[in-house]
Structure 1
Amino acid sequence: MTEASTSTAARAAPTPASFNDYNTALQTAALKATKHAAQLPADIPFHRSVDRAFAKDIDTASARVLALANRLLALAATTDSSAAAKRKGKARLESEEDVVDNFHAVVVDSMDQLLERADIRLDEFLGRSKPPAIAVNPAQPTAQKAKKTNALPGRLDPALQHASTLTKPQLSFKRRPDNNNMSIWHPTLKHKYNAQVPLGYNLRDDDTEENLSGQSASLHPYRYEIRHTPYPAHMFASTAPVPPRSFDATPFTWVSDSAAFDAMLEKLRGAREIAIDLEHHSYRTFAGFVCLMQISTREEDWVVDTLALRDELEALNEVFTDPRIVKVLHGAESDIVWLQQDFNLYIVNLFDTYHASKVLDFPRHGLATLLEMYCDFTADKKYQLADWRIRPLPEEMLAYARSDTHFLLYIYDNLRNALLDRGQSQSRAGTPPSSQTPHESQSQTPAAHALVREVLARSEETALRVYEKELYDYAEGGGPGGWDTLAKKWNKGALTAGAETQAGTGSVYAVQRAVYRCVHAWRDRVAREEDESTRYVLPNHYLFVLADKPPADMAALLSAFHPVPPVIRRRSKELLDAIRQAVKEAQGATKTAPADARANASVARAAAAATDAPDGDIEMSAAGEVALDPTSAGPASSTDLWAHGALTDAVNVRGLIASRAPKASAAAGSALLDNPVVARVEVKGTASFAAAGSALFGDASKMAARPSGAPVSTVRFREVVARIHGTLVIAPSVPRAPAVKSSGSPGPDVSMDGGNAADSGPALEGAVEIPFVPAAQRGRPEAVEDDSIVVVGQRRAKKRKRVPKSSKDGDEAEAVEAFDYGAVSNILDEEPEPEPEDGGAKRRKKKQGAFAGYQYGNFPAPPPARAQPQSGNQTRTFR
């Protein structure tokens, strides 16, 4: 009777009163079944094969267990709506093999998920885990759900990033943008709302105002009002933050006509705090313009189409300059400038949440960080790069624009409370405030309000920013869009300002600098004319591509772009002509020699004839000076064949002719001496060119026959020859050694420069005497007397062996017999010599010391037995 009542109670549906009894009975039954299952005998298959009835009972029980397990799996799948759970719900246990193979994957994993969800629900019921303070993510509308696009994950759809098919909206503006480089922007404010100083007047308080320029002060009509803002008292009171409502529960209005704008303005007049943000476009316009304005209060959101209401937005100054209304923005430095540039809008009583995060020493200061910190909202920042000119706006872009201001007032409440709390803590600890507002003293500011005042002071500096047009400085290249700034940013030192004096005025670098600055200026001019950004006209990296390899024709120009920008495709001839003109001017500046140097080229030839020097020994420099080739003056002082640095020694031409040309004709000597242009001779320290000209580049000897106005470029000739020499192996010229007199060979002393032996220095030991060959006969075959190899230069003197006295009389020394390596046996093939029996081991042990017992060849020790176990530290691995 008792068992029957217990089983009936167990089968009955559990109630809150009988749940404990039901749970106890359930656990008892599960434990009993588990014990019986663990105690099953191992010979069940044998009894099953013997007894047919037993086998039938076993199959029936197995089928019931499998059916019950499959039902439980189906119930577990219905409680979880995920795709993985649904796939697991379709899995079934059909046989014993399924239980053995898939029990863990099908049964155990499902039970773990059920138990984990049960633990989560129990923790939520008991209050151990609380949901976020603002349920933002569950309340997001369908507009915020990302749609499937062709863009890569984390990338913006190209159709949303650059809408190339859109008509430029600035073409329909009543007030066209002024991109003139010489014009100055001035505010055109029609009416000054909330004025403390009338429009057109600039009142300065010398006690609190810094010394500012008159032009900067006059460009900001609300300078005095911002400096003397009477902040409301509620900004310095710590109150509970007001959580924002969800997107669906918050009214939203798209403002694109005058009626909607007037309704919005009427509601903004009664607000205490408003949040503002802008969306700007700068790719298909030179100066940029605002496309959207987002405004939010505690109760409603607005997104204003600034392209349609561009001329009506100045009326917002009634609200934006009201000191009783707090204007909350994040990172407002650009927003303040854009409002002035497009709409003549100014902001009084600004609270910048970026400055608040800086004062609070947050690790990161972006708006996305504050949204995640305070609102548990993750904004998709890829829409920052979207083209906000698109009309109508896609739903995802509209939702992103709303999110920038929808939560900003709640963030403002939390930041203001954190500033007040920290200021109160610092006042109790006696920590002085870090800064002070310019128009309030320390005695007037409570210590608890110091940090809020500091944020407001920084926000005032942001609100006082003035829009200034971007002017192009062609001479210096400064400013955000200057060529010098861009070259420094890209680490192009040869193209920056001052590179002419640092890197010299070589023709190659001069051409690169000229092309870079020419293309940069052309891009700026075209961008202003067509009202396009400089990045759209010509991306930055193409500037350096064209400067490194200036194109010579249209095919080379177009092949440098991949793909060709649209503006370049239309104005390619204009760009090519500008590049050619820049190259021509740069080469003309570096190649054209002075007129005096061209007119006196014959004087250099006369000096060469007067001094009996070979062709090329005296050449005309770019400054009209005569330079001696070092091969006619003495041995080279450097082994660098391509260095052309001049020495500091200067020799007067008159002294040179008097010393080196005693047989010169009077006409040639007087022509050289009486010329006032040739003032000095530079003795160069390295080898010069072997010839003064060539059939390919022209003959320098014909320079005198040219007219005085003909362009002759010695610098260009030097550059071409230097390039040729850079690809060839040029043997050094023969140094001129003093006279060498051999004691064993008769004959007169011979000097390598054709001079007298008395003028020569000490003889070079080991040097070969080479007679002088004039330049006119160097290329003739008959001038070559001996085809033997000549060792040029002075070798180091070797220490000779002492010669016996008998050989000093002229007897030749005995010839050294050559060593025959083939007649000598190989030491590896020789047998080791046997050691003597007596005393050999002792001598070997004494010689080898501790390494005795092993000897092969001359090795001092046997190889270490790596495979054998070592004892102690005998291997000396650690010391």
Structure 2
Amino acid sequence: MDFKATQEQITKALIATTRAATRINKADVPFQRSLNPAAGGALDKQNARLLQLARRLLENAATGADAVGPDLPTVEALDEADKWRGFVDVIDSLLEKADTSLDEYSGVVKRMSPGAEQATAAAAVKPRPNIAAAPSKFLPKPQLQFENVPKNNETGGFHPLLTSKPHAKVPMEQCLQTFKDKRGREQYPHPYQTEIETYEYPNSMYRRIGPKPYKPFESTTATFVDTPEALVMMLAELKTAKEIAVDLEHHDNRSYIGMVSLMQISTRDKDWIVDTLKPWRRQLECLNEVFTDPDIIKVLHGAYMDIVWLQRDLGLYVVGLFDTYHAARALGYPGGSLAYLLERFVKFQAQKQYQLADWRVRPLSKELFEYARADTHFLLYIFDNMRNELVENSDFSKPETNKMQEVLSKSKETALQRYEHPIYDPDLGFGSSGWYRLVSRTPVQFTPQQFAVFKAVHKWRDDVAREEDDSPIFIMPNHALFSIAREMPKDKAALFTVVIHVSPILKNRADELVKIVQNAKASGLNGPDLYATLQRIENIREAERASRYGTAPVPLTVAPSAPSAPAVVVQQSAAPMSLDTSALRANASQFWGGLVPQKDPSPQPNTSLPDISFALPLPPLTADVFADPAADTSPAIPVREPPKFIAKEDRPAEDARTDIFVVKHLGGSRKRKAADALASPSTSTPTSKSADPMLDDEIMLEEDEETARSREKAERKEARRAEKEARRAEKRAAKDAAENADDDEPAFDYASAPTVLHANTPGADKKKDRKGKKGKKKPANFNPYAKLADVPKGLPPKQREKAGRSKTFES
């Protein structure tokens, strides 16, 4: 079904539902229920149906989330706090997955986690005697059958899995000499670092060559490689190619470090799908004869994580990489995902609903098999088109406009990525498995106790995941970590209420986790503050960045996390530089004040803004301030002297003659001017100007009709303004006169004033004479009760009954 049509259908249904709910909310439902028992029964029936729909909707939403929806036995359960918290957990989990999926779809990151595991469709190919087609949640872990079972507790550097080094420029023995990283840990270098850095791409990469057409997708298929014999045959054919396309399918939900579950390889003529879950998977190292061959271009899309996964699981390295993701960014495409490139160049719609499938399932269904093959089947044709565009848009004589060189340099940087064991850092939370990345991206407000609980639960989750060989997300979702840290449950019942989603492992270890929470709560009473710790980490990161660019201070003292902890000193070799040690986040807003009530107040670091006022005013920041006087070689501009004042008596005599003349318009309202002249012939005086225009320095010009109308309009407007100003002056004068008269008014004489007791009777002014005319108005009698009616009136009844119709029932 078309997405747009589905969206319009859902929108119409939501609008109709909202209107119906609003209409029901306005009605007096309890009154209708008490008045009509039949209506009450119908309402109960509809409530039960709506509750069932809500349950189904919640279950479907929780299926794609890392949380379990709350149970809704009755309608009243919707108002309970724990039920509502369950709704929030489901929505938060869905939003986290939506954020990850958007990043993966846009090509920002390679798909990292399958998320909620899906049960694949029934296999359309001939079933193989392997893992049964059962729900993926209950599949046996294939890593338990590997010849080299993965270990999750390594603490040293990652030793490359290579047993030989084909196409080597530097012998393997020299490549395995360890070194110390920036944190003092022992690491092994990249075995092919020299080969990648000194690699020169073939001349064909810098020429425009017509794209070679791909074979029709519908009339071709891929070869499934799941035996050593099939691997040898595939390797022989790959050695004859000039370009190959490679892609991986990864799974990391039921494994701590993850595993490569499938590898797709394509040439110009053929496709292969390699099963990388076989116990003999380490034999795939023989593919280094092709992957490190400098005469073969390896085309991958978004290979940042693929390079690391190949090293970690299969001992494979890539020399001569071309990453189409970097090419898409260099060419300024609006999208960077593989789905976008397939749509742009091939008009092929990738079935992205299989992107998060469980690739451990065997046998592969036809849908999964074809989806995996499509990732590399068209990739070489896309590479041809993008290479030609890069050549056309590159100026090889200028490095800053050489887009091809930019893409190849970034591809080399991607190929030089090196896998390291995920070592947990409980203090600062660094690393891919640490807590710092999670906290830094989440706006949380933690007290020292809550912060201690968060770190302790996070470490417990990581330890359990390593022991059970499951991902930390499978043990406990991220939002549950924050919920436990906020609530700090005291027993199992409170823990299950807070977490909602309880995995089997968490259920079995609930007592252990409760004890961890209570111990962390007690130790965190005087523990480090979240904001001071974040600032401490930021200072360390800033020192590392400064050291990388040679601008770090000689001694950099970082604020300790606790009063008793020693200061951390980072030695550098550059000019001193002071770093801000104020908190990155404040418990109170500088404008609004306190935002979140603190249950356990503790002394916070000074978060006041620095004083940015200056003791001396700055000069105007013009261009002259930043100009270099030594570099200015332009001739000096002569400076004009300011004019001097000369008294009138000292000035030279002027010529009395003048050439100035006035241009006077004639025409327009001639009749009005002629009438004015006849009405007042004596207005001219000996000092007035002559009526003869030729006697004065004036030149009479004929004005057109439009100019005359504009001038008359302006004259009328000026006359109206003068008239209004005159009226205002009269009013002001009358007001001043009245105020002066009030000042002279004599005091009121109460003795001679008439009494109100003998005034005229009320209503005398309403009497009419015999002819029906109203009589002259007379003063009303004094009424001492007249003000009793001046009281606030009550609101009228909401519904007014009318004859013949009742508003009790509205249609």
* TM-score, with structure 1 as normaliser: 0.44
Higher relative contact order (CA 8 A, sep 6+): 2
